[in-house]
Every structure is written in C-alpha cells, then in structure tokens.
Chain A
Amino acid sequence: ETGVTQTPRHLVMGMTNKKSLKCEQHLGHNAMYWYKQSAKKPLELMFVYNFKEQTENNSVPSRFSPECPNSSHLFLHLHTLQPEDSALYLCASSLHSAGTGNQPQHFGDGTRLSIL
C-alpha cells in the first residue's frame, strides 16, 4: 500500500470513446504527477500539478486532458486516443514538486490502457 490509488487498473477503449483515469493520494502531498510508460521505454512525465495548479505540460497531445480538483485527486480525461497511446499510465505524488531533495515521488500501481 503506497498511499496512492489508481482506478481502474485496466481499461480497454475504442478510439472514439471518452474515459477518465482517476488517482487519489492519502499522503497529505501537494504535488501530483501523470507518467506514461510504453513498452521498452522509460517513464515519461506528462503533467505536474503543485497545489492544484498545473506547472508542467510535457508537450502532451490535447487528447489527454488532466484535471486536479484538489491536492488529493488527479484525473486524466481521455478522448479520441490512438493505438500508440496504449501504455501503462502511472500517477505519483510528492510533498511538493519543487526541490525534490528528500521528497521522493510515491507511485500508484498504474492503469494499463489498451486502445482498440
């Protein structure tokens, strides 16, 4: 139990569907992150939120739309995805996004997304 919970664990969707991934952290952290891990590639940072404000968008296509209603919840809204978007999507949190110093990021177990 890492304190970061992601739902659903698995998601299969068509290219025209709209779905959302959810992340919740119970650690009292103020920064939350979305990462993408494709097969045989390093984890790629997608978005960073610090105190509910987006501080980083790592050139992510607009078909991925993040939402952070409060410091404990983070969503990733998906629409008109492509087959190459099939990947493991990981959420993480840390005390703050600035100065990672002694504040490692804590990860959820991810959502395995498959686009048909």
Chain B
Amino acid sequence: DQQVKQNSPSLSVQEGRISILNCDYTNSMFDYFLWYKKYPAEGPTFLISISSIKDKNEDGRFTVFLNKSAKHLSLHIVPSQPGDSAVYFCAASAEGGTSYGKLTFGQGTILTVHP
C-alpha cells in the first residue's frame, strides 16, 4: 500500500516555463511534507518543505502548495532551468502514530527542462 504517490513518471518542460510536479498521499496522519531532488549518481538533496498548518511555502523559484482536503501537494518551479533536470521525490512524515520520525517517499518524477 503506497501512501505517497507521484503518478507522473516524467515531465518535460521548456526552459523559462513553469514546471508543476504533483504528489498525492493517503495517510491523514501526515503533517509534514518535503521535496527532494536527485541527480544521477548522487543522493537526494532537500529542496523545500511545508508543514500541514500552511498551504503554501516559497523559496526563490520553488513553491510548494498543500491541499489537505484533497491530500495533494505540488511543487512549482518557475522559471524552469536546464539545471533543474533531475528526479524529484515527494516525501511525507507524521509527528505521531506509527509514522513518527519516518519519511515515506513517492516513486519520483523525472523532470527534463529543454533549452
């Protein structure tokens, strides 16, 4: 039972345009969400996070939106740059219950930004 799902395996975007990566979750106990970026032959790198008490968090070109009622979050990258091409993982954790202190990851979405 996959509790965090990224239903788009890949996304292709033109440089300068917006990239929107989506993530859905099923566990209502999740209250903290993170996005990681992974280049080939490297480990995941933390990008941005959001607590369930917020519905938006922004950091430069990266914005994460959280819709708790829909159990959906998205990462917006604008403007997209070729260096953003990587695999993006959504992850979630809960402060209590069996998921305490654990990160649950989605399968990842491969983003390709074309010059």
Contacts and interface: CB of A to CB of B under 8 A. Distances in A.
B46 A42 contact: no
Given A105-B46, A107-B45, A109-B42, A42 B32 contact: no
Given A40-B107, A56-B102, A98-B101, A106 B51 contact: no
A48 interface: yes
Contacts of A44: 105
Contact of B105 (A2, A43, A100, A109): A43
Contact of B102 (A41, A42, A48): A48
Contacts of B100: 98
Given A99-B101, A100-B93, A101-B32, A42 B43 contact: no
A97 B21 CA distance: 27
| Nearest 3 pairs of A and B residues by beta carbon | A107-B43, A104-B46, A97-B101
A41 B105 CA distance: 9
Contacts of A45: 102-104
Interface of A: 2, 4, 6, 31, 40-45, 48, 50, 55-56, 58, 90, 92, 96-102, 104-110
Interface of B: 2, 4, 32, 34, 36, 41-46, 49, 51, 89, 93, 95, 100-108
A81 B31 CA distance: 36
Contacts of A109: 41-43
A19 to B, nearest CB: 20
Nearest to A110: B43
B4 A100 contact: no
A62 to B, nearest CB: 21
A50 B44 CA distance: 21
B103 A42 contact: no
